[in-house]
Structure 1
Amino acid sequence: AVRQCAVQWVAEEKLARLRPGVEAVFQSDAITSDLFVSSLAALEMLDGVNPADIDKTPASQYVSPLLADAKRPVGVRVQALRLVSPRDAALTTELFNSLWNSGDATLRREALRTWQGGKAVEIRSRLLALAADTASDPGLRLEGVLALATLAAGGAEAGPARQQLVKLLHDENPVIVIEALRGLRGVPAGEGVSRTDLDRLIDRLKQIPGEPSPAERELADQVALVLGGWKLPIPPAIEQLATPRLNSQEEWVASLSRGRAADAESGRRVFYSPAGPGCVKCHTVNGRGGKVGPDLSRVADTMNRLQLMQSILDPSGEIAPQFVAWTMETRDGKTVTGMIVHENEGKTVLGNAEGQTVELKTAEIVERVPQKTSVMPEKLFERMTVQEMRDVLAFLEGKKR
Structure 2
Amino acid sequence: MQLKKPDLFLIALFIVWIPVFFSCENSAVKNGPMVVDGVTILDERLELTLMKQDPDIVTPIGIAVDAQDRVYVLESHTHLPPTDYVGPENDLIKVYEDSNGDGTWDKESVFAEGLFEGLNIAFSPKGHLYAVTSKEVWKFYDEDRDGISERREKLLAFTKPKQVYAHAALLSIAFDTEGWMYIGRGNTGAAHWILEGSDGSQVEGYGDGGNILRAKTDGTELEVFSTGYWNPFDLKFDNYGRLLVADNDPDSRGPNRLVHAVKGSDFGYQSLFGGSGIHPYLAWNGELPGTLPYAVPLGESPSGLLNANLGRLPQDYDDQMLCTIWEESSIVRIAMEEKGLSLTGSTEVIVQGGKDFRPVAFAADSKGSIFFTDWVERVYPNHGRGKIWKLSAREITDPVTRRSVYQAPKENSKVEELRQLMADTGNFDLHFENLNAEDPYVRHAAVMALSSSEHREKLEQAMQEASADVRLGVLLALRHSDHPREAALARQFLADADPEIRRMALIWIGSHGLASQRENLEQALMAGDFTPQLFETYLETVKLLEPQYQQAYQNKEEEISKRIPLKLPDEFIAGIVSDPSHPSQMRAYALRYLEDPAGHKELLLEFLSQEAAEDLQLEIIQTLANVPDPRVADALLQVSLSTNKPVNLRAEALSALSRQPLEDWREIIPLLEVSDENLAIAAAGYLRAKSGDEAVQKAMERVLNDGSSCDSEGLRQQLMLALSQDRGKRPDPQELEEWTSLLEGAGDPDRGRRVFYSSASLCATCHVVGGRGGDLGPDLSNVGKSKDRKGLISSILVPSEEISPEWQGWFLEMNDGTRYEGRQIDVGEKQIKLYTQAEGFIQVQKAQVANYGMSDSSLMPRGLEQRLTNQELTDLLAFLQAQ
TM-score, normalised on structure 1?
0.81
Give the letter aligned to residue 543 of structure 2. E
In structure 2, what is the equivalent of residue 78 of structure 1?
Answer: 588
From 537, 543, 559, the counterpart of 1:44: 543
Aligned-partner Cα distance in 2 for 1:53–1:76:
29
Whether the 8 Å contact between 1:183 and 1:273 is mirrored in structure 2 is no
CA distance in 1, matches of 2:841, 2:545: 32
Larger radius of gyration: 2
Identical residues among aligned pairs (%): 28
Q: Tell me by how many angstroms 1:297 deviates.
A: 0.8
| Mapping for residues 83-102 of structure 1, pairs under 5 Å | 83-85=593-595, 87-98=596-607, 100-102=609-611
AA aligned to 2:672 is L
Gap regions ≥5 residues in structure 2 = 1-287, 289-500, 554-561
**Structure 2 CA distance for aligned equivalents of residues 121 and 60 of structure 1:** 27
Question: For residues 515 and 569 of structure 2, what CA distance do their matches in structure 1 show?
Answer: 22
Residue in 1 that maps onto 2:614: 105
Query: Quick one: distance in 2 between partners of 1:27 and 1:144?
Result: 32
1:130 matched to 2:634? The reply is no
Q: CA contact under 8 A between 1:348 and 1:359: conserved in structure 2?
A: yes
Counterparts of 1:158 and 1:126, CA distance in 2 = 10
Residue in structure 1 matched with residue 666 of structure 2 by the alignment: 163
Q: Residue 253 of structure 1 corresponds to which residue in structure 2?
A: 740
Change (3 A) 1:89 1:28: farther
- Which residue in the other structure is 2:758 paired with? 273
- 1:221 corresponding residue in structure 2: 717
Asked whether the 8 Å contact 2:521–2:538 carries over to 1, the reply is: yes
Q: Describe how 1:222-237 pairs up with structure 2 within 5 A.
A: 222-228=718-724, 234=725
Measure, in 1, the Cα distance between the counterparts of 2:707 and 2:611. Answer: 44
The alpha-carbon deviation at position 120 of structure 1 amounts to: 5.5
Pairwise CA distance, 1:386: 0.8
Contact 2:605–2:635 (Cα < 8 Å) also in 1: no
Select which of 671, 677, 689 maps to 1:174. 677
Deviation at 1:196? 4.2
- Alpha-carbon deviations, 1:235-287, whole Å to 9, x = none? xxxx5xx5653434332111112x4x21111101111112x211111111101
CA contact (8 A) 1:100 1:111 kept: no
What aligned pairs does 1:24-43 form with structure 2 within 5 A after superposition? 24-27=523-526, 30-43=529-542
Alpha-carbon distance in structure 2 between the residues aligned to 1:362 and 1:35: 42
Aligned to 1:283: 767
Specify the code of the residue in structure 2 equivalent to 1:65: G
Contact 1:11–1:42 under 8 Å retained in 2:
yes
Deviation, 1:45, is 2.6
| CA distance in structure 2 between the partners assigned to 1:46 and 1:28 by the alignment | 21
Per-residue CA deviations over 1:149-182 (Å, capped at 9, x if unaligned) read: 222xxxxx3332x313323223332322211111
Cα gap change, 1:263 to 1:59, in 2 (>3 Å) = farther
Q: Provide the rounded CA distance (Å) in 1 between the counterparts of 2:527 and 2:781.
A: 22
Matched, 1:301 2:800: no
Question: How far apart are the structure 2 equivalents of 1:134 and 1:373?
Answer: 47
**Residue of structure 2 equivalent to 1:115:** 624
Q: Does 1:67 align with 2:549?
A: no
Instruction: Quote the Cα distance in structure 1 between the aligned partners of 2:568 and 2:868.
Output: 36
Pick from 2, 11, 16: which aligns with 2:515?
16
Task: Give the structure with the higher percent helix.
Answer: 1
CA displacement, residues 107-136 of structure 1 (integer Å, 9 cap, x when unaligned): 111101111123464422222222122232
8 A contact 1:29–1:76 mirrored in 2: no
Of 331, 345, 361, 2:843 maps to 361
Question: Which residue identity lines up with residue 264 of structure 1 in the other structure?
Answer: P
Give, in angstroms, the shift of residue 91 of structure 1. Answer: 1.9
Q: Structure 1's 363 and 56: CA in aligned 2 closer, same or farther, altered over 3 A? A: farther
Matching residue of 2:272: none
Query: Is the alpha carbon distance of 1:338 and 1:306 closer, same or farther for their aligned partners in structure 2, counting shifts above 3 Å?
Result: same
Among 681, 684, 688, the residue aligned to 1:185: 688
SS at match of 1:361: strand
The 1-side partners of 2:577 and 2:564 are apart by: 19
What's the CA shift for 1:93? Answer: 1.7
Residue 392 of structure 1, CA deviation: 0.6
The answer to whether the Cα contact below 8 Å between 1:170 and 1:201 also exists between their aligned partners in 2 is: no
Aligned partners of 1:93 and 1:342: how far apart in 2?
42
**SS class of match (2:739):** helix
Structure (1 or 2) with the greater strand fraction? 2
Alignment partners' CA distance in 2, 1:391 and 1:272: 12
**Contact 2:766–2:773 at 8 Å: present in 1 too?**
yes
Shift of 1:377: 1.0
**Partner residue of 1:205?**
704
Q: Deviations over 1:90-111 (max 9, x none)?
A: 4222343135413212111110
Superposed CA offset, 1:203-254 (max 9, x none):
3432427xx74x1x222211121123xxxxx3xxxx5xx5653434332111
**What are the Cα deviations for residues 274-325 of structure 1, in whole angstroms up to 9, with x where unaligned?**
2x21111111110111121111111112111111111001100100111111
| Structure 1: segments with no counterpart, 5+ residues | 152-156, 229-233
CA contact (8 A) 2:669 2:699 kept: no
Q: Secondary structure at the match of 1:360?
A: strand
- Which of residues 743, 748, 753 is equivalent to 1:263? 748
CA distance in 2, matches of 1:112, 1:343: 42
Shift of 1:21: 4.0
1:186 aligned counterpart, secondary structure: helix
The answer to whether 1:374 aligns with 2:858 is: yes
> Which of 651, 654, 664 is 1:142 aligned to?
651
Kept in 1: contact 2:766–2:775 (CA 8 A): yes
Q: Is the contact between residue 26 and residue 76 of structure 1 (CA under 8 Å) also seen in structure 2?
A: no
How far apart, in 2, do the equivalents of 1:174 and 1:342 lie? Answer: 49
Q: What does residue 154 of structure 1 align with?
A: none
SS, match of residue 523 in structure 2: helix
Larger RCO: 1 or 2 (CA < 8 Å, sep 6+): 1
What CA distance in whole angstroms lies between the structure 2 residues aligned with 1:132 and 1:264? 23
What is the alpha-carbon distance in structure 2 between the residues aligned to residue 54 and residue 357 of structure 1?
18
